[in-house]
């Protein structure tokens, strides 16, 4: 994926948000909010968001840390407050995905509860989709009972395609959802 260069270090490379859309990568800040590539220095924020969003189902710190070593794993984060209060930026949302061939698997998506409902989840996901190769297929698993997330993904063009019985360790089913870019483009042009 070409949206952000690999190897960016620290919190210096930002993608400013313009009118709800993401402009090409540049170095300026935009009203304290920025979407950018996640780096190892974001691990504490990611762990915090993960725990707030998933409680007992949160990934372990070491499993999250390993993602930074995998060449196929990418993380986008959304910072809030940078530049407004003088405080260092703090990630309030993140998206972890794995790229394998033509497929993108969404592994984790979380927005701090206090920041939910402000379009941050949509920005993270839309940025990934619009900046990626349009032939790609995007898949994810979501808990059957997670109505909020299922509504969110449907709104962003994902469809239910299968049920994975007793997928989670507590016995809950997972719904496999998929978005194929060509289908979305075709539908929108009919
Ligand atoms: C799912 C999640 C990532 C959405 O992020 P968000 O920033 O709150 O979502 P947005 O503000 O971009 O919402 C976009 C649209 O999705 C839908 N939506 C989002 N959350 C919803 C909810 N809880 N219930 C119903 N619809 C919801 C709405 O239609 C919303 O549009 P609207 O605000 O105009 O009505 C976030 O709620 C979250 O982190 N949840 C906990 C973790 C989780 O369940 N992750 C997904 C696991 S697979």
If you measure from the C-alpha of residue 106 to the centroid of ligand 1, how many angstroms do you get, rounded to a whole number? 15
Per-residue confidence band for 134, with pLDDT thresholds at 50, 70 and 90: low
Longest CA–CA span in the chain (Å) reads 48
Q: Which domains does the chain have, with CATH numbers?
A: 12-132 (3.40.630.30), 133-190 (3.40.630.30)
What pLDDT is stored for residue 138 in this prediction?
Answer: 95
Locate 91 and state its tokens.
């990630």
Residues in Cβ contact with 172 at an 8 Å cutoff, skipping those fewer than 6 apart: 143, 144, 145, 166
CA distance 115 to 90: 12
If you measure from the C-alpha of residue 116 to the centroid of ligand 1, how many angstroms do you get, rounded to a whole number? 7
CA distance 173 to 150: 13
Residues in Cβ contact with 164 at an 8 Å cutoff, skipping those fewer than 6 apart: 141, 173, 174, 175, 176
* Chain centroid offset of residue 55 CA: 18
Among protein residues, the one with the nearest Cα to ligand 1's atom 37 is 116
**What's the pLDDT tens digit per position in 136-174?**
899 999 999 999 999 999 999 999 999 999 999 999 999
In the chain, what percentage of residues exceed pLDDT 90? 64
**What's the pLDDT tens digit per position in 51-96?**
999 999 999 999 999 999 999 999 999 998 755 556 666 899 999 9
CA distance 36 to 117: 20
Cβ 57 under 6 angstroms from ligand 1: no
Cβ 111 under 6 angstroms from ligand 1: yes
In the chain, what percentage of residues exceed pLDDT 70? 72
Cβ 92 under 6 angstroms from ligand 1: no
Among protein residues, the one with the nearest Cα to ligand 1's atom 9 is 121
Mean pLDDT of the chain: 81
The β-bridge partners of 75 are: 96
**What's the pLDDT tens digit per position in 88-133?**
668 999 999 999 988 999 999 999 999 999 999 999 999 988 777 6
């Amino acid at each position: 994926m070409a949206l952000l260069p690999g190897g960016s270090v620290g919190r210096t490379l930002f993608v400013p948000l313009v009118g709800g859309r993401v402009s090409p990568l540049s170095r300026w800040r935009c009203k304290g909010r920025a979407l950018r590539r996640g780096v190892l220095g974001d691990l504490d924020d990611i762990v915090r968001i993960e725990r707030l969003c998933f409680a007992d189902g949160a990934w372990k710190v070491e499993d999250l840390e390993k993602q930074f070593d995998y060449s196929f794993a990418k993380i986008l984060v959304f910072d809030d407050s940078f530049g407004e209060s003088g405080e260092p930026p703090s990630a309030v949302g993140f998206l972890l995905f794995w790229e394998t061939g033509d497929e993108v698997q969404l592994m984790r998506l979380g927005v701090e509860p206090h920041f939910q409902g402000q379009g941050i989840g949509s920005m993270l996901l839309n940025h990934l989709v619009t900046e990626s190769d349009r032939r790609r297929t995007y898949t994810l698993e979501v808990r059957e009972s997670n109505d909020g997330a299922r509504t969110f993904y449907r709104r962003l063009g994902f469809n239910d395609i299968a049920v994975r019985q007793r997928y989670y360790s507590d016995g809950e089913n997972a719904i496999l959802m998929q978005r194929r870019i060509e289908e979305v483009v075709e539908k929108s042009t009919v």
